[in-house]
Structure 1
């Protein structure tokens, strides 16, 4: 049973993602991710160290931008953009995180290359209000 509110959980995830992905402060990030962290992503090795090692391996230009964030109980879903990771297109992600004892305990994601305006059949950007440059 959760001891934190959905608003507290959203704030935790926002700070955790910024600390790891944008600041790349691994020591500080340890306080946000459980040492028993469960990783469901097909792109990331198991555990907290699998995630941290992935971030260590990508270019220092990596940037995470947060969009919509929703929370219910112990679960937080964040719609975001990962850019500067060395691939041709940014990734648009829906990250689902379960919070336990004030830490990120479990993670699932859905990743998709960001479409350009020419590639978008809807004519709308996948993230934010502009297409990528």
Structure 2
């Protein structure tokens, strides 16, 4: 079993998300995601192929941006934005990933549509320091 540090795990998740969501490099992504990957998201079919197949159906304009990433042991939580998916609003996500043997082994997420300034009761943006255009 490969032992990794929280800093290595954060870098792994960011590299994996960039390879899959931004670069659409499925060969590289397969090196990041375990072939025994467990998917808990209600929006994604099981396994890494379920995730990869979902991404294949999305427009090439899909983009992942990370704002905050924290790690504790083998768990990483990434707060990010998925935009350019063809949906009316970007998704702001908290992705929770468990790392095993240096690969993404398990995933949960919490997703919500990004609010505009007019929709924000708090008056604050959900991602970064600006509201979406």
Shorter chain as denominator, the TM-score bin is over 0.9
Q: Which residue of 2 aligns with 1:17?
A: 17
Q: Which residue of 2 aligns with 1:106?
A: 106
Alignment of 1:1-133 (within 5 A): 3-133=3-133
Say how many residue pairs are matched.
Answer: 133
1-structure distance, mates of 2:18, 2:128: 18
State the Cα distance separating 1:2 from its structure 2 match. 6.7
1-structure distance, mates of 2:118, 2:38: 38
Contact (CA 8 Å) 1:2, 1:74: kept in 2 or not? Answer: no
Misfit runs of 4+, over 6 Å: none
For structure 2, the residue ranges without an aligned partner over 5 or more in a row are none
2-structure distance, mates of 1:4, 1:94: 22
Q: TM-score, normalised by structure 2?
A: 0.98
Q: TM-score, normalised by structure 1?
A: 0.98
CA root-mean-square deviation = 0.9
2-structure distance, mates of 1:28, 1:80: 21
Q: Secondary structure at the match of 1:68?
A: strand
2-structure distance, mates of 1:124, 1:38: 34
2-structure distance, mates of 1:2, 1:115: 40
For structure 1, the residue ranges without an aligned partner over 5 or more in a row are none
2-structure distance, mates of 1:18, 1:76: 15
